[in-house]
Amino acid sequence: MDAAARKKRISERVEMRAQALDRLALEIHARPELAFEERFAATSLADYLESEKVSVQRGAAGLETAFLAEAGAGGPLIAILGEYDALPGIGHGCGHNLMGTAAVGAFLAVRDTLDGVRGRVRLIGCPAEERGNGKVHLMKGGAFEGVDAALMYHPGDRDEIDPLMLAMVNLDVELLGKAAHAAAEPHDGVNALDGLVLGWNAMSALRLLVRSDSRIHGIITDGGKAANIIPDRAAARLMVRSPDNTYLAELRRRVLACFEGAAIATGAELRPMWSEVCEVVNTNRPLAEAFAENARTLGRTMQARRPSDTHGSTDMGNVTTAIAGIHPFLSITEGPVPGHSLAFTEAARTPRALETMRLAAKALAMTSLDVMAEPALLKRAKEAHDGRAA
């Protein structure tokens, strides 16, 4: 069977499962779950795989809501990644209900088309992208061991092959003071909230001086217990982002200094805690070109990134730092709709979103097959990843 016939079969296999994949995407959309709590989503996807006679490793890498499945033998190993966690307050405002189902559809389509092809495909169910760096835990737990290329897609409002995904680190700041009656004995207290607000205002002033490609933002998570008590605790969660790791390190130092100075000024104790860094997504050009060509045959024209655009951050950046990989966006909307919004949550359950999810499954499966069947493509991808491309 030639490549064209195999890709035709891939499309047919995705379409024959369209009803089941759509149902899964809509059910996960209706039951949004936060990072590391995606029990319904992970169970639903794993159960469906097992109904398709796939052996599933649940609780992969020690994460309750992660799972692995593999098919094929010999040859290169291609990983297809799926996410399924939601956002607090707005549910699937990032469209992850579509990503897990697309990955499942792609995996099954590749499995059904592997006869006569040397190669393996590994499905990796990835929890906690929105918060928690689930893929970093999966990497440490061996889920990516032996993988030659890692593929996934993301819903968006534009078909974009090489989105700029910034390096990012979380900073949790906690200030501890001393409680006192706010009217009777305020002089006996140490106001942790004043320390936090002072540091916050310093951070806001810093943002005027930050490079236009970088970001600092966050929320106050604890501002005290009652208006008549001097707050003995205040806390915030901040996110610091940049496409430049050296500049990110400089921003980290400057943001922390805002709160260190505020703690000294107010007499509060500062307890900072940094998360692990989400790395910049390194789009692998040969893999991206293969995906774009497959998307084109399916009726979608992938565009290059626009200079002014950024798309937040993702732990897929850590994967693409270690392994050749891609993270393209496919539009599920008729026009511009901001991600992480209620409008995007609504878009993630529309017929267009489901159609795009199935198209993504086909393009991911076809690109996986290309890497298995064309040794020259994998060679170019690895050379590009290692910086040896001509």
Q: What is the pLDDT of residues 296-327, one digit of tens each?
A: 999 999 999 987 777 789 999 999 999 999 99
Where residue 390 falls among pLDDT bands split at 50, 70, 90?
very low
Asked whether residue 206 falls in the same domain as residue 249, the answer is yes
How high is the pLDDT of residue 224?
Answer: 95
Overall domain count for the chain? 2
268-272: average pLDDT: 98
**Residue 257, token pair as written in the block:** 């200094």
90-108: average pLDDT: 98
- What percent of the chain clears pLDDT 70, i.e. is strictly above it? 99
Among 274, 305, 334, identify where a domain stops: 274
- What percent of the chain clears pLDDT 90, i.e. is strictly above it? 94
How high is the pLDDT of residue 389?
Answer: 57
- The SS3 call for residue 61 is helix
Q: Which domain holds residue 379?
A: 3-165+281-386
3-state SS, 66-101, equals: CEEEEEEECCCEEEEEEECCCECCCECCCCHHHHHH
Question: What phi and psi, each to the nearest 5 degrees, are found at residue 313?
Answer: -145, 160
- The SS3 call for residue 360 is helix
pTM equals 0.90
By DSSP bridging, strand 324-326 and strand 149-151 are parallel
Three-point CA angle 277, 365, 34, nearest 5°:
40
How high is the pLDDT of residue 193?
Answer: 98
Asked whether residue 73 falls in the same domain as residue 212, the answer is no
Asked whether residue 54 falls in the same domain as residue 155, the answer is yes
Asked whether residue 8 falls in the same domain as residue 51, the answer is yes
Asked whether residue 191 falls in the same domain as residue 160, the answer is no
Strand blocks (E) in the chain: 57-58, 67-73, 77-83, 119-126, 149-151, 154-156, 167-176, 215-222, 233-242, 269-274, 324-326, 329-331
Q: How many CA atoms lie within 13 A of 380 on its CB side?
A: 15
pLDDT of 264 > 90? The answer is yes
Average pLDDT of the chain?
A: 96
Asked whether residue 151 falls in the same domain as residue 174, the answer is no
Where residue 116 falls among pLDDT bands split at 50, 70, 90?
confident
Asked whether residue 125 falls in the same domain as residue 242, the answer is no
Rg (CA), the chain: 23
276-286: average pLDDT: 94
pLDDT of 387 > 50? The answer is yes
pLDDT tens digits for range 156-213:
999 999 999 999 999 999 999 999 999 999 999 999 999 999 999 999 999 999 999 9
Asked whether residue 172 falls in the same domain as residue 230, the answer is yes
Supply the CATH number for residue 184's domain: 3.30.70.360
pLDDT tens digits for range 128-157:
999 889 999 999 999 999 999 999 999 999
